Chains A and B, each alone.
Chain A
Amino acid sequence: MSGQANCPVLPNLAAVPGLPRDEEGAVFAAPWEAKAFALVVHLHQQGRFEWQEWVDALSGEVAADAAREPHQPYYELWLSAAEKLMSRKGLVPAARLASEREALRAAQAAHAEHHDHGHHHDHGDHHH
């Protein structure tokens, strides 16, 4: 499906602190969690960092969260760890990331504005 000649092996998920999983592997509560998970696994499979580097980065976030009230959801810690590791590795500078987020928020606000004053999609039960 991906067009890759060989199917890369998944990294050792058991080494990942606190990862929500069942007997078959990681489990997610929402699509964005699966995407955040997939981005990290994919970058590792591309050789951008060692799996142990990732485990250490995430462990840092998990440990910091343990001392904090209220605790953050697990995949928000995952995402924070990913953002920091990308920045540290020079893959995605933190400033670029911040401006990209701002651009997305602005685009979303503009979009909502447009729709609040605009049309509505005539949807529903197409019967064919």
Chain B
Amino acid sequence: MASSAHTRPLSDVEIRVKALESLLLEKGLIDQAAVDALIDTYEHKVGPRNGARVVARAWVDPAYKQRLLTDGTTAIAELGYSGIQGEDMVVVENTPEVHNVLVCTLCSCYPWPTLGLPPVWYKSAPYRSRVVSDPRGVLREFGTELAPETEVRVWDSTSEVRFMVLPERPAGTEGMSEEALAALVTRDAMIGVTKLKA
């Protein structure tokens, strides 16, 4: 097995992009914030939709949900999605009793094949530290109020394991098609900072 380094090795093409970006930054030709903002604009285009389809399938198919919670990597691959770096996916289920939220405290590991590009705040130092020290406070800033008796679990990504939250199916969605359900699922809910509404 490869190293236990927190960050996986960059592919050759990623090194090319990074080299270009570093030199453009060094020469002051680009503004990091503006580039990040542009990427932020496009982040959803890589695909939280994949994750949304996984969630909708789990809501309508109890056997699939069971497989998803037992072996996330294999169940997600059933729908044709996989992490090209080969990391394992672990899916954690939100229930009225337990609320899960994701972070990567050391860098910004993120399950992008299912959730798309990470939002800029996910990579920010304040989120990475505060979601661990004060998860309820951070969730409140996202508009998510949890009942005092709800247990909050914070999952820290590693280079080998990426987490994804299976949000609670909103009330009032009985009888909706799988496709319509998938359209309700947001990236933030799969990170665990928000809850879904019908």
Contact = CB atoms under 8 A, between A and B. Distances in A.
- A and B part of one assembly: yes
Interface of A: 1-4, 22, 24-39, 41-43, 45-46, 48, 75-76, 79, 82-83, 86, 91-92, 96-97, 100-101, 104-105, 108, 111-112, 114-116, 118-121, 123-128
B15 A34 contact: no
12 contacts: A24-B45, A35-B21, A38-B42, A42-B34, A75-B13, A79-B13, A79-B16, A79-B20, A96-B23, A100-B22, A119-B4, A126-B155
A54 B18 CA distance: 20
Given A28-B46, A115-B3, A128 B153 contact: yes
B125 interface: no
Contacts of B30: 39, 42-43, 46
B24 interface: yes
A75 to B, nearest CB: 8
Contact of A34 (B27, B33, B46, B158): B46
B112 interface: yes
* Central interface residue in B13, B112, B151, B156, by most chain A CB within 10 Å: B13
A35 B39 contact: yes
A122 to B, nearest CB: 10
Given A1-B37, A112-B5, A112-B9, A34 B117 contact: yes
Contacts of B33: 1-3
B4 A121 contact: yes
Contact of A121 (B21, B153, B158): B158
A97 B23 contact: yes
Interface in B158-178: 158, 161
Nearest to B131: A128
B46 A43 contact: no
* Central interface residue in B22, B34, B156, by most chain A CB within 10 Å: B34
B63 interface: no
Nearest to B84: A30
* Central interface residue in A29, A119, A120, A128, by most chain B CB within 10 Å: A128
Contacts of B157: 123
Contacts of B21: 35, 39
A115 B21 CA distance: 26
Given A31-B46, A105-B15, A112-B3, A124 B23 contact: no
Interface in B35-68: 35-40, 42-43, 45-46
Nearest to B29: A91
Contact of B156 (A27, A34, A124): A124
B31 interface: yes
A29 B79 CA distance: 16
A112 B161 CA distance: 18
A115 B5 contact: yes
A87 B135 CA distance: 47
